[in-house]
Structure 1
């Protein structure tokens, strides 16, 4: 049985970095980074949020196909809306696969500091930063972080991972969470 490993958290918390490392060390696992998929659609730099709505169904199809092939998928995607998260969860569960929701969390300011420490020379980072700044910048990151924490407390299918340390420690904690969840099957 394959597993959709959903890494959720505020911008800058380390979702994409942890996902990239995970797939590098786990052959056959797909890194379905929706933000990177957006770059495949024309106009993504001008309408980042709108392109997200276009690419999410593509991501869902990719996830489902990869899981159906018997391979795990890592989804490094901030999903604040429970409706959106439910769509991704259903893509796995409805096909008989597992879903593991991992919330990467850190004290206030950690995600923001990492987010604004990213290189703006990378086009994707620059577009994401412009989008976040347009939504309120630091205040928006803090609000998203608080909303995610509240959502994570309200649902029972989430594993909390402390992402306040260095990314190596966060990665090890995620791997440990995946291994622990597998021992407790079913993950559903």
Structure 2
């Protein structure tokens, strides 16, 4: 049975890195990174949030089609609202696939530091996201997201919580594999 694997967590916690690593080790797996898809929309930098809202239905269509026809999908995405998680869960179930929800967790102060430290020069949205966070309340807004993710995990008891340790990508990846039964 195909799986939609949601890698949820704070910005900079390693969602995309783990997703790409998983796909590299599991040929045929699609990494559906909504942040990458958002950059395909004209004006995405000026309307980052709106571009994300517009691209999510397309991402759901892509995910559903891929699950039905091809295999597993990994979705590295910060989803802090139950309704957003449920949209992707419904897509998986409608495609006859399993939905696996993993929260890559770290202490909120570590998450804030990792957010500020990340910028590999590859992902074009990092500078845009930094500006949005600064405009939206800075570190306090990041701390609020950390709190929302904690609340989300309480509301969704099937969520597998994996400690994301800075500098230990191998350990985090091994824990994700163990949680998936791989």
TM-score by length of 2: 0.94
- Partner of 1:80: helix, strand, or coil? coil
Mean alpha-carbon deviation: is it higher for 50-59 or for 151-160? Answer: 151-160
- Partner of 1:100: helix, strand, or coil? strand
Cα distance between partner residues in 2 of 1:56 and 1:37: 9
Mean alpha-carbon deviation: is it higher for 161-170 or for 148-157? Answer: 161-170
Cα distance between partner residues in 1 of 2:174 and 2:10: 19
Return closer, same or farther for 1:121/1:86 CA change in 2, 3 Å cut-off. Answer: same
**Residues paired across the two proteins, number:** 180
Cα distance, 1:116 vs structure 2: 0.5
Cα distance between partner residues in 1 of 2:28 and 2:133: 33
Could you say which residue in structure 1 is the equivalent of 2:81? Answer: 81
- Partner of 1:103: helix, strand, or coil? strand
Structure 2 counterparts to residues 144-159 of structure 1, below 5 A: 144-159=145-160
Matched, 1:135 2:142: no
Matched, 1:176 2:170: no
Equivalent pair of 2:11/2:115 in contact (CA under 8 Å): yes
- Partner of 2:6: helix, strand, or coil? strand
TM-score by length of 1: 0.91
Cα distance, 1:173 vs structure 2: 0.8
Equivalent pair of 1:106/1:163 in contact (CA under 8 Å): yes
- Partner of 2:7: helix, strand, or coil? strand
Cα distance, 1:120 vs structure 2: 7.2
Gaps of 5+ in 2: none
- Partner of 1:66: helix, strand, or coil? helix
Cα distance, 1:167 vs structure 2: 2.0
Could you say which residue in structure 1 is the equivalent of 2:42? Answer: 42
Cα RMSD (Å) of the superposition? 1.4
Equivalent pair of 1:107/1:164 in contact (CA under 8 Å): no
